[in-house]
Amino acid sequence: MLAPEYKPFPSHVKLIYDGSKVDLTPETEEVASFYATMITTDYSANPVFVKNFFNDWRTFMTHEEKKLIKSFKKCDFSLMVKYFEEQRELKKNLTKEEKEASKKLKEREIELHGYAIVDGYKERIGNFKIEPPGLFRGRGDHPKMGLVKRRVLAKDITINIGPGETPPQPPPGQQWKQVIHNDKVTWLAQWTENIQQNVKYVMLNANSRMKGENDLKKYDKARELKGYIDTIRKSYEIDLKDKKMEVRQRATALYFIDRLALRVGNEKNVEEEADTVGCCSLRLEHIDLIDPNQIKFDFLGKDSIRYVNTVSVPEQIYKNVKIFMKQKEKSDALFDRLTVPALNKHLQELMPGLTAKVFRTYNASFTLQEELDKINLKNPSLQEKVLAYNRANRAVAILCNHQRAVPKGFEVQMEKIRSKIKVWKAERKELEKELEEAKTLNKENVVTKIQKKIGLIKERIRKKKIEMTNKNENKTVALGTSKINYMDPRITFAWCKKNEVQVEKVYSKTNREKFLWAACVDSNFRW
Protein backbone atom coordinates (compact mmCIF):
# COMPACT_ATOMS: atom_id res chain seq x y z
CA MET A 1 0.00 0.00 0.00
CA LEU A 2 1.71 3.14 -1.23
CA ALA A 3 1.50 6.47 0.61
CA PRO A 4 -1.46 8.64 -0.53
CA GLU A 5 -0.82 11.49 -2.93
CA TYR A 6 -0.16 14.91 -1.42
CA LYS A 7 -3.21 17.11 -0.80
CA PRO A 8 -2.27 20.82 -0.97
CA PHE A 9 -3.16 23.12 1.94
CA PRO A 10 -6.39 25.16 1.80
CA SER A 11 -5.90 28.49 0.03
CA HIS A 12 -5.51 30.50 3.28
CA VAL A 13 -2.58 28.35 4.51
CA LYS A 14 0.66 29.66 3.03
CA LEU A 15 4.35 29.89 3.71
CA ILE A 16 5.24 33.39 4.90
CA TYR A 17 8.56 34.61 3.54
CA ASP A 18 10.06 37.88 4.74
CA GLY A 19 6.64 38.92 6.08
CA SER A 20 4.64 38.13 2.92
CA LYS A 21 2.49 35.12 2.01
CA VAL A 22 3.96 33.04 -0.82
CA ASP A 23 2.24 30.73 -3.31
CA LEU A 24 4.24 27.52 -3.69
CA THR A 25 3.97 24.71 -6.21
CA PRO A 26 2.49 21.53 -4.64
CA GLU A 27 5.89 19.76 -4.67
CA THR A 28 7.66 22.63 -2.86
CA GLU A 29 4.75 23.11 -0.48
CA GLU A 30 4.74 19.39 0.44
CA VAL A 31 8.42 19.51 1.48
CA ALA A 32 7.75 22.70 3.50
CA SER A 33 4.94 20.82 5.27
CA PHE A 34 7.43 18.14 6.36
CA TYR A 35 9.36 20.77 8.32
CA ALA A 36 6.17 22.31 9.72
CA THR A 37 5.12 18.97 11.23
CA MET A 38 8.47 18.77 13.08
CA ILE A 39 8.71 22.34 14.29
CA THR A 40 7.83 21.39 17.88
CA THR A 41 10.61 18.77 18.06
CA ASP A 42 14.27 19.26 19.03
CA TYR A 43 15.25 18.56 15.41
CA SER A 44 13.86 21.89 14.18
CA ALA A 45 16.50 23.73 16.25
CA ASN A 46 19.39 21.46 15.21
CA PRO A 47 21.71 23.38 12.83
CA VAL A 48 22.66 20.25 10.83
CA PHE A 49 19.00 19.28 10.43
CA VAL A 50 18.00 22.82 9.36
CA LYS A 51 20.91 23.21 6.93
CA ASN A 52 20.25 19.83 5.27
CA PHE A 53 16.52 20.49 5.06
CA PHE A 54 16.88 23.94 3.51
CA ASN A 55 19.47 22.85 0.94
CA ASP A 56 17.42 19.80 -0.03
CA TRP A 57 14.16 21.79 -0.08
CA ARG A 58 15.63 24.20 -2.62
CA THR A 59 16.24 21.29 -5.03
CA PHE A 60 12.44 20.85 -5.20
CA MET A 61 11.79 24.54 -5.94
CA THR A 62 11.13 26.06 -9.33
CA HIS A 63 13.55 28.64 -10.72
CA GLU A 64 11.24 31.47 -9.56
CA GLU A 65 10.88 29.99 -6.05
CA LYS A 66 14.67 29.67 -5.71
CA LYS A 67 15.12 33.31 -6.73
CA LEU A 68 12.70 34.38 -3.98
CA ILE A 69 13.47 31.94 -1.11
CA LYS A 70 17.17 32.36 -0.36
CA SER A 71 17.30 32.57 3.45
CA PHE A 72 15.88 30.01 5.88
CA LYS A 73 15.73 32.67 8.63
CA LYS A 74 13.12 34.61 6.62
CA CYS A 75 10.84 31.52 6.36
CA ASP A 76 7.78 31.52 8.62
CA PHE A 77 5.88 28.20 8.80
CA SER A 78 3.38 29.37 11.48
CA LEU A 79 0.23 29.14 9.31
CA MET A 80 1.10 25.55 8.39
CA VAL A 81 1.84 24.67 12.01
CA LYS A 82 -1.50 26.21 13.08
CA TYR A 83 -3.33 24.20 10.40
CA PHE A 84 -1.78 20.91 11.59
CA GLU A 85 -2.73 21.74 15.19
CA GLU A 86 -6.33 22.37 14.09
CA GLN A 87 -6.39 19.06 12.20
CA ARG A 88 -5.11 17.22 15.29
CA GLU A 89 -7.87 18.78 17.40
CA LEU A 90 -10.50 17.80 14.82
CA LYS A 91 -9.20 14.24 14.90
CA LYS A 92 -9.44 14.18 18.70
CA ASN A 93 -13.05 15.36 18.55
CA LEU A 94 -14.37 12.93 15.93
CA THR A 95 -17.88 11.64 16.52
CA LYS A 96 -18.49 7.99 17.40
CA GLU A 97 -19.76 7.40 13.83
CA GLU A 98 -16.67 9.03 12.28
CA LYS A 99 -14.35 6.94 14.47
CA GLU A 100 -16.23 3.78 13.49
CA ALA A 101 -15.95 4.70 9.79
CA SER A 102 -12.19 5.30 10.20
CA LYS A 103 -11.84 1.92 11.93
CA LYS A 104 -13.70 0.14 9.12
CA LEU A 105 -11.48 1.84 6.52
CA LYS A 106 -8.36 0.53 8.30
CA GLU A 107 -9.87 -2.96 8.45
CA ARG A 108 -10.56 -2.83 4.67
CA GLU A 109 -6.97 -1.73 4.03
CA ILE A 110 -5.63 -4.66 6.08
CA GLU A 111 -7.92 -7.11 4.27
CA LEU A 112 -6.86 -5.79 0.86
CA HIS A 113 -3.11 -5.28 1.44
CA GLY A 114 -2.25 -7.01 4.71
CA TYR A 115 -2.25 -10.72 3.79
CA ALA A 116 -0.31 -13.12 1.60
CA ILE A 117 -0.94 -16.79 0.80
CA VAL A 118 2.27 -18.69 1.64
CA ASP A 119 2.36 -22.43 0.83
CA GLY A 120 -1.44 -22.47 1.05
CA TYR A 121 -1.60 -20.62 4.41
CA LYS A 122 -3.07 -17.12 4.80
CA GLU A 123 -0.36 -15.11 6.60
CA ARG A 124 -0.40 -11.54 7.90
CA ILE A 125 2.09 -9.13 6.32
CA GLY A 126 4.04 -7.00 8.79
CA ASN A 127 4.78 -3.62 7.22
CA PHE A 128 2.49 -3.48 4.17
CA LYS A 129 2.22 0.33 4.29
CA ILE A 130 5.12 1.97 2.45
CA GLU A 131 6.63 4.73 4.60
CA PRO A 132 5.35 8.15 3.50
CA PRO A 133 7.76 10.89 2.38
CA GLY A 134 9.17 13.16 5.08
CA LEU A 135 12.41 14.37 6.63
CA PHE A 136 15.11 11.91 7.66
CA ARG A 137 15.83 11.93 11.40
CA GLY A 138 18.52 9.30 11.86
CA ARG A 139 19.85 8.20 15.22
CA GLY A 140 21.97 10.50 17.36
CA ASP A 141 23.93 13.19 15.52
CA HIS A 142 23.42 11.74 12.06
CA PRO A 143 25.14 13.83 9.36
CA LYS A 144 22.20 13.37 6.96
CA MET A 145 19.40 14.40 9.33
CA GLY A 146 16.96 16.79 7.68
CA LEU A 147 17.32 15.45 4.15
CA VAL A 148 14.08 14.69 2.28
CA LYS A 149 12.96 11.07 2.19
CA ARG A 150 11.39 10.97 -1.25
CA ARG A 151 8.03 9.42 -2.07
CA VAL A 152 8.29 5.75 -3.01
CA LEU A 153 6.46 5.01 -6.27
CA ALA A 154 5.54 1.72 -7.96
CA LYS A 155 8.46 2.20 -10.38
CA ASP A 156 10.84 1.92 -7.38
CA ILE A 157 9.40 -1.38 -6.10
CA THR A 158 10.27 -4.97 -6.96
CA ILE A 159 7.50 -7.50 -6.24
CA ASN A 160 8.44 -11.07 -5.27
CA ILE A 161 5.62 -13.55 -5.96
CA GLY A 162 5.08 -17.17 -6.93
CA PRO A 163 5.43 -18.03 -10.64
CA GLY A 164 2.08 -17.97 -12.41
CA GLU A 165 0.44 -15.87 -9.67
CA THR A 166 -1.12 -12.49 -10.44
CA PRO A 167 0.87 -9.65 -8.84
CA PRO A 168 -0.99 -6.95 -6.88
CA GLN A 169 -2.20 -4.02 -8.96
CA PRO A 170 -0.03 -0.86 -8.85
CA PRO A 171 -1.82 2.51 -8.58
CA PRO A 172 -3.46 3.72 -11.82
CA GLY A 173 -0.92 4.93 -14.38
CA GLN A 174 2.05 3.34 -12.55
CA GLN A 175 4.06 0.16 -13.10
CA TRP A 176 6.21 -1.96 -10.78
CA LYS A 177 9.96 -1.76 -11.31
CA GLN A 178 10.09 -5.54 -11.61
CA VAL A 179 8.12 -8.69 -10.77
CA ILE A 180 10.30 -11.66 -9.77
CA HIS A 181 9.82 -15.21 -8.46
CA ASN A 182 12.57 -15.86 -5.89
CA ASP A 183 11.73 -18.58 -3.35
CA LYS A 184 15.17 -18.38 -1.68
CA VAL A 185 14.32 -15.14 0.18
CA THR A 186 11.54 -14.23 2.62
CA TRP A 187 10.73 -10.69 1.42
CA LEU A 188 7.59 -9.94 -0.61
CA ALA A 189 8.62 -6.53 -1.97
CA GLN A 190 11.71 -4.32 -1.87
CA TRP A 191 12.95 -0.87 -2.87
CA THR A 192 16.00 1.32 -2.20
CA GLU A 193 15.49 4.45 -0.09
CA ASN A 194 17.18 7.61 -1.31
CA ILE A 195 19.00 8.84 1.83
CA GLN A 196 21.49 6.06 2.59
CA GLN A 197 20.67 3.79 -0.35
CA ASN A 198 19.50 1.09 2.07
CA VAL A 199 17.28 -1.65 0.70
CA LYS A 200 13.90 -1.74 2.43
CA TYR A 201 11.68 -4.82 2.52
CA VAL A 202 8.06 -5.79 2.99
CA MET A 203 8.09 -8.96 5.11
CA LEU A 204 5.63 -11.32 6.74
CA ASN A 205 4.35 -10.47 10.21
CA ALA A 206 6.53 -11.34 13.21
CA ASN A 207 4.11 -14.12 14.22
CA SER A 208 4.11 -15.83 10.80
CA ARG A 209 5.07 -19.50 10.56
CA MET A 210 8.27 -18.70 8.64
CA LYS A 211 9.41 -16.07 11.17
CA GLY A 212 8.63 -18.45 14.03
CA GLU A 213 10.76 -21.17 12.42
CA ASN A 214 13.65 -18.71 12.02
CA ASP A 215 13.34 -17.59 15.65
CA LEU A 216 13.38 -21.18 16.85
CA LYS A 217 16.55 -21.85 14.81
CA LYS A 218 18.18 -18.71 16.25
CA TYR A 219 17.50 -19.67 19.88
CA ASP A 220 18.39 -23.31 19.31
CA LYS A 221 21.74 -22.20 17.83
CA ALA A 222 22.41 -20.05 20.92
CA ARG A 223 21.38 -22.96 23.14
CA GLU A 224 23.73 -25.25 21.20
CA LEU A 225 26.58 -22.87 22.10
CA LYS A 226 26.15 -24.01 25.72
CA GLY A 227 27.82 -27.28 24.79
CA TYR A 228 30.80 -25.54 23.17
CA ILE A 229 31.29 -22.46 25.32
CA ASP A 230 33.87 -23.92 27.72
CA THR A 231 36.01 -25.22 24.85
CA ILE A 232 35.74 -21.90 22.99
CA ARG A 233 36.75 -19.94 26.11
CA LYS A 234 39.76 -22.18 26.73
CA SER A 235 40.72 -21.75 23.06
CA TYR A 236 40.68 -17.94 23.08
CA GLU A 237 42.37 -17.82 26.51
CA ILE A 238 45.31 -19.75 24.99
CA ASP A 239 45.25 -17.47 21.90
CA LEU A 240 45.59 -14.37 24.11
CA LYS A 241 49.33 -15.13 24.33
CA ASP A 242 49.85 -16.17 20.69
CA LYS A 243 52.92 -14.79 18.89
CA LYS A 244 50.80 -13.66 15.91
CA MET A 245 49.26 -10.25 16.58
CA GLU A 246 46.12 -10.98 14.52
CA VAL A 247 45.43 -14.09 16.65
CA ARG A 248 45.89 -12.08 19.86
CA GLN A 249 43.53 -9.40 18.56
CA ARG A 250 40.93 -11.99 17.60
CA ALA A 251 41.11 -13.62 21.06
CA THR A 252 40.85 -10.26 22.86
CA ALA A 253 37.87 -9.19 20.73
CA LEU A 254 36.20 -12.54 21.42
CA TYR A 255 36.65 -11.99 25.15
CA PHE A 256 34.84 -8.62 24.88
CA ILE A 257 32.04 -10.07 22.69
CA ASP A 258 31.57 -13.04 25.01
CA ARG A 259 32.06 -11.56 28.48
CA LEU A 260 30.71 -8.01 27.92
CA ALA A 261 28.03 -8.89 25.33
CA LEU A 262 29.41 -6.21 22.96
CA ARG A 263 27.96 -6.18 19.46
CA VAL A 264 30.48 -7.33 16.87
CA GLY A 265 30.40 -4.02 14.90
CA ASN A 266 31.11 -3.42 11.22
CA GLU A 267 33.17 -0.84 9.39
CA LYS A 268 31.15 2.02 7.97
CA ASN A 269 31.57 5.35 6.26
CA VAL A 270 31.49 7.84 9.16
CA GLU A 271 30.82 10.74 6.79
CA GLU A 272 27.70 8.97 5.48
CA GLU A 273 26.36 7.56 8.75
CA ALA A 274 26.24 8.30 12.48
CA ASP A 275 29.56 7.36 14.10
CA THR A 276 28.41 4.20 15.88
CA VAL A 277 30.78 1.33 16.58
CA GLY A 278 30.92 -2.22 17.94
CA CYS A 279 33.73 -4.37 19.28
CA CYS A 280 35.66 -4.89 16.02
CA SER A 281 35.40 -1.23 15.00
CA LEU A 282 36.53 0.27 18.35
CA ARG A 283 39.07 3.07 18.10
CA LEU A 284 41.63 4.17 20.68
CA GLU A 285 39.49 7.21 21.50
CA HIS A 286 36.78 4.84 22.79
CA ILE A 287 38.86 3.27 25.56
CA ASP A 288 41.00 4.28 28.51
CA LEU A 289 43.32 2.04 30.49
CA ILE A 290 43.22 2.38 34.27
CA ASP A 291 46.05 0.60 36.12
CA PRO A 292 46.37 -2.10 37.21
CA ASN A 293 43.64 -3.99 35.27
CA GLN A 294 40.64 -1.81 34.37
CA ILE A 295 39.39 -0.69 30.96
CA LYS A 296 36.90 2.14 30.52
CA PHE A 297 34.73 1.95 27.39
CA ASP A 298 32.91 5.02 26.09
CA PHE A 299 31.41 4.88 22.60
CA LEU A 300 28.15 5.20 20.66
CA GLY A 301 26.65 1.78 19.97
CA LYS A 302 23.72 0.78 17.77
CA ASP A 303 21.01 3.45 17.41
CA SER A 304 23.52 5.97 18.83
CA ILE A 305 23.02 4.69 22.38
CA ARG A 306 26.06 5.56 24.44
CA TYR A 307 27.92 2.67 26.06
CA VAL A 308 29.91 3.69 29.14
CA ASN A 309 31.36 0.91 31.25
CA THR A 310 34.47 0.42 33.37
CA VAL A 311 35.40 -3.24 33.79
CA SER A 312 38.11 -5.21 35.52
CA VAL A 313 39.76 -7.61 33.07
CA PRO A 314 42.31 -10.46 33.32
CA GLU A 315 45.94 -9.34 33.32
CA GLN A 316 46.59 -10.74 29.82
CA ILE A 317 43.63 -8.84 28.30
CA TYR A 318 44.94 -5.61 29.86
CA LYS A 319 48.46 -6.28 28.53
CA ASN A 320 47.16 -7.03 25.04
CA VAL A 321 45.09 -3.87 24.80
CA LYS A 322 48.13 -1.87 25.96
CA ILE A 323 50.19 -3.49 23.16
CA PHE A 324 47.47 -2.85 20.53
CA MET A 325 47.44 0.86 21.48
CA LYS A 326 51.19 1.41 21.07
CA GLN A 327 52.34 3.89 18.41
CA LYS A 328 48.80 4.67 17.31
CA GLU A 329 46.69 7.82 17.08
CA LYS A 330 43.42 8.24 18.97
CA SER A 331 41.51 7.86 15.69
CA ASP A 332 43.19 4.52 14.83
CA ALA A 333 41.41 1.16 15.12
CA LEU A 334 42.16 -0.89 18.23
CA PHE A 335 41.83 -4.18 16.31
CA ASP A 336 43.58 -3.09 13.12
CA ARG A 337 44.42 -6.67 12.07
CA LEU A 338 40.97 -8.15 12.60
CA THR A 339 37.94 -8.31 10.29
CA VAL A 340 34.45 -9.57 11.08
CA PRO A 341 34.52 -12.20 8.27
CA ALA A 342 37.83 -13.55 9.61
CA LEU A 343 36.41 -13.69 13.14
CA ASN A 344 33.28 -15.56 11.99
CA LYS A 345 35.31 -17.97 9.87
CA HIS A 346 37.35 -18.87 12.96
CA LEU A 347 34.19 -19.34 15.06
CA GLN A 348 32.70 -21.72 12.49
CA GLU A 349 35.80 -23.88 12.86
CA LEU A 350 35.00 -24.12 16.59
CA MET A 351 31.25 -24.79 16.20
CA PRO A 352 29.17 -25.34 13.03
CA GLY A 353 27.13 -22.26 12.11
CA LEU A 354 28.54 -20.12 14.93
CA THR A 355 28.95 -16.38 14.34
CA ALA A 356 29.84 -13.57 16.75
CA LYS A 357 26.16 -12.48 16.88
CA VAL A 358 25.16 -15.76 18.56
CA PHE A 359 27.11 -14.85 21.73
CA ARG A 360 24.75 -11.96 22.49
CA THR A 361 21.67 -14.20 22.27
CA TYR A 362 23.47 -16.89 24.29
CA ASN A 363 24.51 -14.49 27.07
CA ALA A 364 21.06 -12.82 27.24
CA SER A 365 19.23 -16.16 27.53
CA PHE A 366 21.81 -17.65 29.91
CA THR A 367 21.60 -14.56 32.16
CA LEU A 368 17.79 -14.61 32.21
CA GLN A 369 17.71 -18.28 33.23
CA GLU A 370 20.42 -17.70 35.84
CA GLU A 371 18.64 -14.66 37.34
CA LEU A 372 15.26 -16.42 37.44
CA ASP A 373 16.87 -19.38 39.20
CA LYS A 374 18.08 -17.02 41.95
CA ILE A 375 14.54 -15.93 42.85
CA ASN A 376 13.69 -17.24 46.31
CA LEU A 377 10.51 -15.66 47.65
CA LYS A 378 8.38 -17.08 50.47
CA ASN A 379 4.66 -17.11 49.58
CA PRO A 380 5.07 -14.30 47.00
CA SER A 381 2.12 -12.33 45.67
CA LEU A 382 1.58 -12.01 41.91
CA GLN A 383 3.01 -8.45 42.02
CA GLU A 384 6.18 -9.68 43.77
CA LYS A 385 6.64 -12.43 41.18
CA VAL A 386 6.29 -9.92 38.32
CA LEU A 387 8.74 -7.54 40.04
CA ALA A 388 11.22 -10.43 40.40
CA TYR A 389 10.84 -11.32 36.70
CA ASN A 390 11.35 -7.69 35.66
CA ARG A 391 14.51 -7.55 37.76
CA ALA A 392 15.85 -10.62 35.93
CA ASN A 393 14.86 -9.01 32.62
CA ARG A 394 16.60 -5.79 33.68
CA ALA A 395 19.85 -7.66 34.39
CA VAL A 396 19.77 -8.78 30.74
CA ALA A 397 18.90 -5.29 29.46
CA ILE A 398 21.83 -3.80 31.41
CA LEU A 399 24.17 -6.49 30.05
CA CYS A 400 23.04 -5.66 26.51
CA ASN A 401 23.11 -1.86 27.13
CA HIS A 402 19.41 -1.40 26.34
CA GLN A 403 18.94 2.11 27.70
CA ARG A 404 16.20 4.69 27.29
CA ALA A 405 15.56 8.24 28.42
CA VAL A 406 13.34 8.70 31.48
CA PRO A 407 9.77 8.66 30.05
CA LYS A 408 7.96 11.99 29.77
CA GLY A 409 5.50 12.33 32.60
CA PHE A 410 7.41 9.86 34.79
CA GLU A 411 7.49 12.19 37.80
CA VAL A 412 3.79 13.01 37.34
CA GLN A 413 2.96 9.28 37.41
CA MET A 414 5.11 8.75 40.51
CA GLU A 415 3.51 11.71 42.27
CA LYS A 416 0.04 10.27 41.57
CA ILE A 417 1.09 6.96 43.14
CA ARG A 418 2.59 8.76 46.16
CA SER A 419 -0.62 10.79 46.55
CA LYS A 420 -2.76 7.64 46.52
CA ILE A 421 -0.55 6.01 49.14
CA LYS A 422 -0.76 9.17 51.26
CA VAL A 423 -4.59 9.17 51.08
CA TRP A 424 -4.77 5.46 51.95
CA LYS A 425 -2.39 5.93 54.89
CA ALA A 426 -4.61 8.75 56.21
CA GLU A 427 -7.66 6.47 55.83
CA ARG A 428 -5.83 3.70 57.67
CA LYS A 429 -4.91 6.08 60.49
CA GLU A 430 -8.57 7.11 60.92
CA LEU A 431 -9.67 3.48 60.91
CA GLU A 432 -7.03 2.61 63.51
CA LYS A 433 -8.52 5.31 65.79
CA GLU A 434 -12.01 3.86 65.23
CA LEU A 435 -10.61 0.39 65.96
CA GLU A 436 -9.25 1.50 69.36
CA GLU A 437 -12.63 3.04 70.26
CA ALA A 438 -14.49 -0.13 69.20
CA LYS A 439 -12.13 -2.26 71.28
CA THR A 440 -12.73 -0.01 74.31
CA LEU A 441 -16.50 -0.44 73.88
CA ASN A 442 -16.11 -4.22 73.29
CA LYS A 443 -17.93 -4.03 69.93
CA GLU A 444 -16.58 -7.26 68.43
CA ASN A 445 -18.54 -7.08 65.14
CA VAL A 446 -17.36 -3.51 64.54
CA VAL A 447 -13.75 -4.50 65.41
CA THR A 448 -13.83 -7.35 62.86
CA LYS A 449 -15.21 -5.07 60.11
CA ILE A 450 -12.63 -2.34 60.78
CA GLN A 451 -9.77 -4.85 60.89
CA LYS A 452 -10.90 -6.20 57.51
CA LYS A 453 -10.94 -2.65 56.03
CA ILE A 454 -7.46 -1.93 57.45
CA GLY A 455 -6.20 -5.20 55.96
CA LEU A 456 -7.55 -4.24 52.50
CA ILE A 457 -5.94 -0.78 52.69
CA LYS A 458 -2.60 -2.29 53.77
CA GLU A 459 -2.75 -4.65 50.77
CA ARG A 460 -3.51 -1.73 48.42
CA ILE A 461 -0.54 0.23 49.81
CA ARG A 462 1.75 -2.80 49.50
CA LYS A 463 0.76 -3.33 45.84
CA LYS A 464 1.23 0.36 45.00
CA LYS A 465 4.66 0.39 46.62
CA ILE A 466 5.70 -2.60 44.49
CA GLU A 467 4.37 -0.79 41.39
CA MET A 468 6.37 2.31 42.38
CA THR A 469 9.55 0.24 42.88
CA ASN A 470 9.02 -1.44 39.50
CA LYS A 471 8.54 1.87 37.67
CA ASN A 472 11.49 3.52 39.40
CA GLU A 473 13.91 0.66 38.73
CA ASN A 474 12.94 0.49 35.05
CA LYS A 475 12.80 4.20 34.23
CA THR A 476 16.11 4.24 32.28
CA VAL A 477 16.14 0.62 31.08
CA ALA A 478 14.39 -0.65 27.94
CA LEU A 479 13.13 -4.12 28.87
CA GLY A 480 11.37 -4.77 25.55
CA THR A 481 14.39 -5.07 23.23
CA SER A 482 15.91 -8.07 24.97
CA LYS A 483 12.47 -9.72 25.24
CA ILE A 484 11.78 -9.54 21.53
CA ASN A 485 15.31 -10.12 20.18
CA TYR A 486 17.66 -11.86 22.61
CA MET A 487 15.98 -13.83 25.42
CA ASP A 488 14.72 -17.29 24.44
CA PRO A 489 10.92 -16.99 25.00
CA ARG A 490 10.72 -20.61 26.15
CA ILE A 491 12.45 -19.55 29.39
CA THR A 492 9.70 -17.00 30.09
CA PHE A 493 6.77 -19.29 29.18
CA ALA A 494 8.21 -22.11 31.31
CA TRP A 495 8.83 -19.80 34.29
CA CYS A 496 5.29 -18.37 34.05
CA LYS A 497 3.76 -21.86 34.02
CA LYS A 498 5.92 -23.07 36.90
CA ASN A 499 5.17 -20.00 39.04
CA GLU A 500 1.49 -19.63 38.08
CA VAL A 501 1.96 -16.19 36.53
CA GLN A 502 -0.28 -15.23 33.59
CA VAL A 503 2.10 -14.69 30.68
CA GLU A 504 0.35 -11.39 29.78
CA LYS A 505 1.76 -9.96 33.03
CA VAL A 506 5.29 -10.07 31.57
CA TYR A 507 4.72 -10.31 27.80
CA SER A 508 2.87 -7.78 25.65
CA LYS A 509 0.33 -8.88 23.01
CA THR A 510 3.04 -8.39 20.36
CA ASN A 511 5.43 -10.68 22.27
CA ARG A 512 2.77 -13.33 22.78
CA GLU A 513 1.80 -13.35 19.11
CA LYS A 514 5.42 -13.40 17.93
CA PHE A 515 6.33 -16.32 20.18
CA LEU A 516 3.26 -18.54 19.78
CA TRP A 517 5.64 -21.39 18.88
CA ALA A 518 7.14 -21.22 22.40
CA ALA A 519 3.82 -21.15 24.30
CA CYS A 520 3.46 -24.95 24.45
CA VAL A 521 6.81 -25.43 26.24
CA ASP A 522 6.78 -27.62 29.35
CA SER A 523 7.00 -25.89 32.76
CA ASN A 524 10.19 -27.87 33.46
CA PHE A 525 12.00 -26.50 30.38
CA ARG A 526 15.49 -25.34 31.26
CA TRP A 527 17.71 -23.36 28.96
CATH topology of domain 379-518: Topoisomerase I; Chain A, domain 4 (1.10.132)
Q: Which CATH architecture has domain 229-350?
A: Alpha-Beta Complex (3.90)
Predicted confidence pLDDT, tens digits, the chain (527 residues): 999 999 999 999 999 999 999 999 999 999 999 999 999 999 999 999 999 999 999 999 999 999 999 999 999 999 999 999 999 999 999 999 999 999 999 999 999 999 999 988 899 999 999 999 999 998 778 899 999 999 999 999 999 999 999 999 999 999 999 999 999 999 999 999 999 999 999 999 988 888 999 999 999 999 999 999 999 999 999 999 999 999 999 999 999 999 999 999 875 554 455 678 999 999 999 999 999 999 999 998 887 788 999 999 999 999 999 999 999 999 999 999 999 999 999 999 999 999 999 999 999 999 999 999 999 988 899 999 999 999 999 999 999 988 877 888 889 999 999 999 999 999 999 999 999 999 998 888 999 999 999 999 999 999 999 989 988 888 888 889 999 999 999 999 999 999 999 999 999 999 999 999 999 999 999 99
Q: For position 377, what pLDDT does the model report?
A: 86
Cα angle value 482/483/486 (rounded, 5°)? 50
Q: What is d(CA 159, CA 166) in angstroms, rounded to the nearest whole number?
A: 11
What is the rounded end-to-end Cα distance, in angstroms, of the chain? 41
Q: For position 268, what pLDDT does the model report?
A: 54
Q: For position 484, what pLDDT does the model report?
A: 93
Q: For position 270, what pLDDT does the model report?
A: 47
Q: For position 474, what pLDDT does the model report?
A: 83
Q: For position 137, what pLDDT does the model report?
A: 92
Strand spans (E) along 217-369: 287-290, 294-300, 306-312
Catalytic residue numbers, as ranges: 486
* Class (C level, CATH) for 98-202: mainly beta
Q: For position 511, what pLDDT does the model report?
A: 93
Q: For position 443, what pLDDT does the model report?
A: 87
Comparing CA positions, the residue from 54, 58, 56 lying closest to residue 73 is 54
Q: Provide DSSP, 394-445.
A: HHHHHHTT-B-PPPTTHHHHHHHHHHHHHHHHHHHHHHHHHHHHHHHTT-HH
Burial of 10 (0-12, 13-18, 19+ CB in 10 A): exposed
Out of 1.10.10.41, 3.40.309.10, 3.40.50.800, 1.10.3720.10, select the CATH number for domain 15-97: 1.10.10.41
What residue segments make up the domains of the chain, in order of their start? 15-97, 98-202, 229-350, 379-518
Q: For position 403, what pLDDT does the model report?
A: 80
Q: For position 152, what pLDDT does the model report?
A: 96
Q: What is d(CA 215, CA 222) in angstroms, rounded to the nearest whole number?
A: 11
Q: What is d(CA 336, CA 323) in angstroms, rounded to the nearest whole number?
A: 12
CA torsion, points 441, 444, 448, 454, in degrees to nearest 10? 10
